[in-house]
Amino acid sequence: MPIKRLDLKLGFRCNNNCLSCPQAHRRHLGDLRLEEIKKLLEKGREHEANEVVLTGGEPTVRPDILEIIAYAKKIGYEFIQLQTNARMLYYKEFCEKLVAAGITDFAPAIHGPNAQVHDYLVQSPGAFEQAIKGVRNLKELGQYVIMNSVINKINYVLLPETARLFVDLCVDQYQFAFIHCVGNAKKNIDLLLPRKSEVKPYLHKALDIGINAGIKVMVEAYPYCFMQGYEKHCSELYMPNAEIMDAEGIVEDFEKLRKETGKLKGENCEKCRYDLICEGPWKEYPQKFGWKEFVPVKGKKIISKKELLG
C-alpha cells in the first residue's frame, strides 16, 4: 500500500521557547483533549493513513502521551514517529516506556554543536545537556533516530560541527531545515534569517560529513539551484503524501498547501531545469531578500521526481 502519513499536532504547549518556533503564535490554543486526538487518529485511518507523526508543541509534556501512542498502535498505524525537543528523553525509563507503547521512530531536535548555541536558540538553560543525554538513551535502547536542526543566522557557520556531533552520537539520519519565518521566527527574522548563498558552503560540508560516515542526510526548504551535486538530499523528493490535523482543522494535502500558500517561485524559475519539481523557498525569504541569488540551472527539464532519483 502506498505510504500515507498523518501529521498530528497534539497541541501547542512546550517546555522550550525557541526563537525560531513556527508554532509559537498558536500557543494560546493549548492542547487537544485526549478524546479529540483519538478521533483524529481514527479519521486518519479512515483516510488510509498507515503512518502517523506525533508533534506539537512538545508531545512529551502531555501526561497522556503513552496512552496516545498505544492507541495509535492499537488501531493499526505501522509507523509512529515522535517529534520532540528531546528534553524529557533525559530520563531513560521514560524512553523505555515510549518504546513499549509503540514509537517506531524518534525525531529529536538539536540546533547547534554546543550548549551555548542550542540553549540560546531554544531559550532554555540546560536543554542541550538533556537532549544529548536523551539521544544517547535512545541509541542505547537500539532505537532509530532522525536528528533535526533548523538552519539560521546564528548557527549556520557551525553546521559542520553540528554534523560531526550527530555522527558522534551515531544517529541514523540527520536533516537540516532552512528556517521558516512564521511564529517566533517571524518576530525574529532580522536576527535569524541568513542568506542561502552564504549558508551554502557550510551546509554542503555538513552534508559531506554525514555522507562520508554512511549516514542518510537531508535538507528541507533549500531549492535545487543551491544543491547541485546534492540534489538527491533534498527532503521534498521523499516526503510521502501527508494530511495535517490539529486544533485549527484538517489540511488534506500538505504538499499542495506548501506550493500554493507557503512557498514562492520567481520569474527566472521557469528557465531552470528543476522548475517542474521544485517548490521554491518559503515565501518570507524572497519577500526579504528578493530573487537575485536564485540562478536558473541550465539543462534539459526534469519532468518528475522519479527521473531525478534515477
CA distances (Å), 262 to each of 137, 179, 283, 308, in order? 36, 13, 6, 24
Q: Does residue 292 form part of some domain? A: no
Q: Does residue 296 form part of some domain? A: no
Q: Does residue 251 form part of some domain? A: yes
- Locate 211 and state its grid cell: 555522507
pLDDT for residue 205? 98
Q: Does residue 249 form part of some domain? A: yes
Q: Does residue 282 form part of some domain? A: no
Q: Over pLDDT 70: what percentage of the chain?
A: 94
Domain housing 226 = 4-265
Q: Summarize pLDDT for 232-279 with one digit per residue, the tens.
A: 999 999 987 777 765 556 655 666 667 667 899 999 999 999 999 999
Q: Does residue 94 form part of some domain? A: yes
Q: Does residue 233 form part of some domain? A: yes
CATH number, position 95? 3.20.20.70
pLDDT greater than 70 at residue 147: yes
3-state secondary structure 253-277: CHHHHHHHHHECCCHHHHHCCCCCC
- In angstroms, the CA 100 to CA 35 distance is 22
Q: Which has more pLDDT, 304 or 254?
A: 304
Domain count across the chain = 1
For the beta carbon of residue 82, count every other beta carbon within 10 angstroms: 23
Q: Does residue 128 form part of some domain? A: yes
